[in-house]
């Protein structure tokens, strides 16, 4: 037994010695941690891909591993050399199964624009530190117009090493484009939404990670001796030191100030311009669906009920665990806190997969799991997305009848028994506006002698308020201007 213990000790020492010499970064599971200790690690700015009961998975250098071991924590090295891990993943790629690079992404985006010019267009929304374009693909039935329709955003690759985060938004774009005019639901969404996809927020970092075979997280900002800023710690809502670092050498370095980076500035200006209702930011790993707020524990979220509902529904597609972002670990300056805290966007982070970069053969599998959840979010941008207190009035005033009824159904089912008076009142305000829009559409149809719209509303039990508006308006106008309406429709309305 003594020889075995000595052998294990020597093995750990050799690992630390080799790590110190070659300075590789490792993925390590550190055990024996309390929730308070995990929270403290986040406060210290450690790079934490995953947490669980009593453990955290950390990206560490050799001396850091040794320090944890000396404190008595259990150590399990999951990936000894993360750069070597990247090289091995690259070797799994084939002609028919490979991760998008910056170049192949641009090529595919341009192919789509050429093939589907009536429903998509490509735009550079800004430049990176190294002057690469940050490309955004718009998918809609009138892509050249800014229509008053619910808008959804899908983003990938805030973090360079998270290659699957590029694949899922690209796969979603492919489905929307290829199935338009073939699948009725896809056709409806393209016709009634403004869908934007930014597959690679951090093109410099991704290019560096792929070309140099590096497990790189940040952008490529030259910090005068070190490189990179963590773009998902650089947004301006509650920017600070929790879950982030002031050191330019740290993987979670948050920059010299909020929005110090051109990439985060490009996304900020883009979301202000487009006024999105809902978004997903893709990351790896942990198989989680996260929602705001993430900058601290137990931060009040006025729209908590919507976030919980949507996260739970999306989790049914991929089997992921939905939770508040701070439950993973608190972090300041991330995109979701800004999108919701400042812009009132219903925003989510998907932590894809069970490792940073699965073998390329797994790309179809994780796409198949996650594209349906993205389609769900695009749909609900037009229901829950306009329940949100900052839902744009112009969107409600331009809803089609079917869209109005979908929104009414979702609002009533989610908030019908809501005990929180303030939350219920906000929902009822939006319900009233949408019901009035619905009534306006139906009344005009009745005037033209068409009962189809009325029948649709009567078939939706949740649309009782809209029916009340329709009935009151038609009966009032009929009493004063009886020639406007057919009497058989008046009787139908009374019954």
Catalytically active residues are 351
CB atoms within 10 A of CB 296: 16
3-state secondary structure labels for all residues of 68-122:
HHHCCCCEEEEECCHHHHHHHHHHCCECCECCCCHHHHHHHHHHHHHHCCCCEEE
The span from the CA of 268 to the CA of 293, in Å, is 18
Cis peptide upstream of residue 293 (ω within 30 degrees of 0)? yes
Tell me the three state secondary structure of residue 253: strand
Strand 50-52: give its sheet, edge to edge: 50-52, 55-61, 25-31, 75-79
171 CB-near residues (< 8 Å, 6+ apart):
367, 370, 371
- What DSSP string runs through 149-211? S-EEEEE--SSTT-THHHHHHHHHHHHHHHTTTTSHHHHHHHHH-EEEEES-S-HHHHHHHHH
Q: In Å, how far are 6, 7, 8, 9, 203 from 2, measured between CA atoms? A: 6, 9, 10, 11, 52
The span from the CA of 247 to the CA of 229, in Å, is 10
Dihedral angle computed from the Cα positions of residues 152, 154, 159 and 164, in that order, rounded to the nearest 10 degrees: 160
Distance between alpha carbon 222 and the CA centroid of its chain, in Å? 28
| 146 class by beta-carbon count within 10 Å (0-12 exposed, 13-18 middle, 19+ buried) | middle
């Amino acid at each position: 037994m003594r020889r075995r213990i000595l052998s294990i000790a020597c093995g750990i020492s050799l690992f630390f010695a080799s790590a110190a010499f070659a300075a590789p970064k490792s993925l390590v599971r550190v055990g024996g941690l309390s929730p308070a200790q995990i929270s403290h690690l986040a406060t210290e700015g450690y790079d934490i891909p995953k947490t669980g009961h009593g453990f955290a998975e950390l990206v560490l250098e050799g001396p850091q591993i040794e320090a944890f071991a000396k404190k008595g924590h259990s150590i399990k090295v999951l990936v000894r050399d993360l750069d070597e891990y990247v090289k091995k993943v690259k070797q799994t790629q084939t002609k028919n199964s490979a991760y998008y690079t910056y170049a192949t992404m641009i090529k595919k985006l341009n192919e789509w624009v050429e093939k589907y010019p009536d429903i998509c267009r490509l735009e550079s929304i800004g430049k990176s530190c190294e002057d690469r374009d940050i490309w955004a693909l718009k998918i809609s039935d009138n892509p050249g117009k800014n229509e008053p329709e619910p808008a959804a955003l899908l983003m990938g690759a805030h973090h360079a090493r998270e290659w699957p985060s590029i694949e899922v938004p690209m796969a979603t774009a492919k489905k929307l484009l290829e199935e338009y005019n073939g699948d009725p639901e896809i056709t409806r969404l393209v016709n009634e939404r403004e869908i934007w996809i930014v597959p690679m927020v951090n093109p410099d970092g991704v290019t560096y990670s792929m070309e140099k075979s590096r497990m790189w997280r940040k952008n490529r900002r030259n910090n005068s001796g070190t490189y990179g800023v963590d773009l998902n710690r650089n947004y301006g809502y509650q920017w600070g030191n929790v879950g982030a670092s002031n050191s330019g050498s740290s993987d979670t370095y948050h920059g010299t100030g909020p929005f110090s980076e051109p990439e985060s500035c490009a996304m900020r200006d883009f979301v202000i311009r487009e006024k999105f209702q809902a978004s997903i930011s893709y990351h790896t790993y942990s198989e989680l669906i996260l929602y705001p707020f993430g900058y601290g524990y137990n931060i009040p979220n006025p729209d908590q009920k919507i976030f919980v509902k949507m996260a739970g529904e999306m989790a049914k597609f991929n089997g992921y665990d939905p939770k508040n972002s701070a439950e993973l670990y608190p972090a300041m300056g991330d995109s979701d806190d800004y999108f919701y805290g400042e812009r009132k966007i219903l925003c989510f982070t998907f932590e894809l997969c069970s490792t940073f970069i699965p073998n390329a053969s797994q790309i179809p599998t994780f796409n198949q799991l996650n594209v349906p959840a993205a389609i769900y979010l695009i749909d609900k941008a037009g229901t829950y997305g306009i329940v949100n207190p900052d839902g744009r009035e112009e969107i409600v005033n331009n809803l089609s009848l079917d869209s109005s009824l979908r929104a009414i159904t979702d609002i009533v089912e989610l908030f019908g028994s809501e005990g929180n008076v303030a939350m219920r009142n906000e929902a009822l305000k939006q319900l009233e506006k949408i019901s009035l829009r619905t009534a306006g559409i139906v009344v005009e149809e009745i005037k033209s002698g068409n009962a189809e719209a009325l029948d649709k509303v009567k078939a939706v039990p949740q649309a009782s308020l809209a029916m009340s508006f329709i009935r009151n308006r038609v009966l009032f106008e009929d009493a004063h201007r009886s020639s406007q309406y057919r009497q058989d429709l008046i009787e139908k309305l009374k019954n």
